[in-house]
Amino acid sequence: MGHRTVTLFVILSILLLVLFVLDLLVGAVYIPLKDIWGAMIGEEVNSATRLIVLDIRLMKAIVAVIAGIALSVSGLQMQTLFRNPLAGPYVLGISSGASLGVAIFILGMPLLGIVNNSAISSIGTAGAAWIGSALILAFIAFVSTRIKDIMVILILGMMFSSGVSAVVQILQYLSNEEALKSFVIWTMGSLGDVTASQLQLLLPAVFLGLILSIAVIKPLNLLLLGEQYARTMGLNIRKSRYLIFLSTTLLAGTVTAFCGPIGFVGLAIPHISRMLFSNADHRILLPASALCGGVVLLFCDIVSKWLTLPINTITALLGIPIVVWVVIRNKSIV
């Protein structure tokens, strides 16, 4: 590792810490840093303060970091696998799968007259989203065993997700206002709806996804030259594709299930990391993207709290100019 790389990692780590603390400070009510620290180390503080700090702000900041890491790492994997700078975590339809699950849960059940079925409602929005994205992955994985050309898989994934979106629209069209509003709010994304018990699911799933992503670092580096070259250098293409898909679903699928679809982070962060570190080696790029992802989503969360707007609008407004700039500046990015 060069000096520049080490320096960048150090700066980003410090930035992550600073923004994490800043994220705890920003909110509807002002809480002094002293009280935040007190609540965190378990000192005697006012119970409302403790609740706000631990259950709301701390939880949200942790979720922001996890979501940022997960979306960026999965986006990076998709960009390399498909050798396409416009690929992102949602390119295979993970978010449309999740939204179909949620649409059926929020919109479809009232239509079918199932309102108070406790067995079904215990799945929750998150469970429904997760099932939706897992089904999409199963379909893509099944298709990819039969198809040699990775570009065909990309096109199928995009077509399939458009088809799923159409089904979601039908459900939206048929639904009543109340159900429709809660669905639309889900699609805007939220980092604040994760409960402590959900975090116990979110953390291990994302952790497993990250372990898998580390295991495919070498395959990803070989895939920079395309699948044909990768194969002649001894890569088992089928196995690598599976692992990459699985990792992406665990990362992006889980985050989407709990936070809703958060756009542009997974697409923009890998580009930012490539440019910052000027390196395409995934041994550097993967941790770099993870760090940048955490930093950027914390920043977006602070802005969204400040302006009291949904997180998705902030990530899009910040992400789009970055992607445009990257594409204009550099034509051969991936």
Partner 1 sequence: MIELKNISLGYDNKQILLKDVSATFSSGTTTALIGRNGSGKSTLLRAIIGSQPLMNGNIVLNGTDIKDTTALQLARQVAFVTTERVRISNLACRDVVALGRAPYTNWIGRMQREDERVVMQSLEKVGMEAYAFRTMDKMSDGECQRVMIARALAQETPIILLDEPTSFLDMPNRYELCHLLADLAHKENKCIVFSTHELDIAKSVCDTIALIDSPTLHHYPAEEMINSGYIEKLFKIRYEK
**Binding site residues, partner 1, CB under 8 A:** 214-215, 217-218, 221-222, 224-226, 228-229, 231-237, 274, 277-281, 283, 330, 332-334
308 versus 332: smaller Cβ distance to partner 1:
332
Q: How far is the CB of 225 from partner 1 (least distance, A)?
A: 5
Q: How far is the CB of 38 from partner 1 (least distance, A)?
A: 43
Distance (Å, whole) CA 288 – CA 274:
8
Q: How far is the CB of 208 from partner 1 (least distance, A)?
A: 17
Q: How far is the CB of 151 from partner 1 (least distance, A)?
A: 13
Q: How far is the CB of 169 from partner 1 (least distance, A)?
A: 39
35 versus 281: smaller Cβ distance to partner 1:
281
| 243, 214 Cβ separation under 8 angstroms | no
| 292, 272 Cβ separation under 8 angstroms | yes
| Those residues with Cβ within 8 angstroms of residue 303's Cβ, 6 or more apart along the chain or in another chain | 314, 318
34 versus 148: smaller Cβ distance to partner 1:
148
Distance (Å, whole) CA 146 – CA 301:
42
18 versus 215: smaller Cβ distance to partner 1:
215
117 versus 278: smaller Cβ distance to partner 1:
278
| 173, 165 Cβ separation under 8 angstroms | no
Q: How far is the CB of 113 from partner 1 (least distance, A)?
A: 53
Q: Extract the tokens encoding 253.
A: 């699928």
32 versus 226: smaller Cβ distance to partner 1:
226
